[in-house]
A and B are shown apart, each in its own frame.
Chain A
Amino acid sequence: GDSVTQMEGPVTLSEEAFLTINCTYTATGYPSLFWYVQYPGEGLQLLLKATKADDKGSNKGFEATYRKETTSFHLEKGSVQVSDSAVYFCALSEVPGAGSYQLTFGKGTKLSVIP
């Protein structure tokens, strides 16, 4: 079945450092790929997404590129802020349109940014 593998956390960075959170996936078809973020005490929020190979999703300074050849969707940000401290989840949906209700999530990576 489908699966998503994220780098183990927690990740601790100093403010303004460069961030990479690795995500690789296993799927039989051509999935849509997502990054969701969960701030402390809240539900998840969609951060960015990409629906086909070589697409780049971006939002709030975060970027991720859909790499079909390496089955990866790594999350990057050039300069993190304390407010970026959260848990980040990579996810996929194999069924077209079912990213609305049938997502497979990774285990999450906790990011802490210190001043």
Chain B
Amino acid sequence: NAGVTQTPKFQVLKTGQSMTLQCAQDMNHEYMSWYRQDPGMGLRLIHYSVGAGITDQGEVPNGYNVSRSTTEDFPLRLLSAAPSQTSVYFCASSYSSGEGNEKLFFGSGTQLSVL
């Protein structure tokens, strides 16, 4: 049972570099989302998708891009990394089963440091 798989687990970047955080799920979930977790801040929503070809911004989208070409994959791109993007990033997915049945399945996270 793979569930939600995130790669890499750890990454160190220099300011200005770009990279893509990968997220894949094998549960045929329609909904996928990216969160960042910072000390004392909880989790904040970056971007989300309600299906292939459909994405939207969350609370903190600046500096990040996403696309959803398949149901399984939802990569997060950092275009030009900044120290403020040092964080732990979580990908999550869920069924589109409507009210009363919401449950997010989380990946194990990517710890990103930008120097």
Instruction: Write the residues of chain A forming the contact surface with B, with a CB cutoff of 8 angstroms.
Output: 4, 32, 34, 36, 41-46, 49, 51, 89, 93, 96-108
Contacts and interface: CB of A to CB of B under 8 A. Distances in A.
Chief secondary structure at chain A's binding surface: mixed
A101 B31 contact: yes
Q: How large is the interface on B (under 10, 10 to 19, 20 to 34, 35 or more residues)?
A: 20 to 34
Nearest to A52: B100
B68 to A, nearest CB: 12
21 contacts: A4-B42, A41-B108, A44-B104, A49-B103, A51-B99, A89-B42, A97-B97, A97-B99, A99-B102, A99-B103, A100-B96, A100-B97, A101-B33, A101-B48, A101-B50, A101-B92, A101-B94, A101-B104, A107-B40, A107-B42, A108-B42
Contact of B106 (A45, A99, A107): A45
A43 B99 contact: no
Interface of B: 4, 31-33, 35, 40-45, 48-50, 58, 90, 92, 94-100, 102-104, 106-109
A34 B4 CA distance: 20
B74 to A, nearest CB: 11
B106 A100 contact: no
A45 B107 CA distance: 10
Contacts of A101: 31-33, 48-50, 92, 94, 104
A51 B95 CA distance: 17
A14 to B, nearest CB: 26
Given A41-B108, A43-B108, A44-B90, A98 B42 contact: no
Nearest to A46: B103
A42 B108 contact: yes
B102 A93 contact: yes
Contacts of A34: 102
Contacts of B40: 107
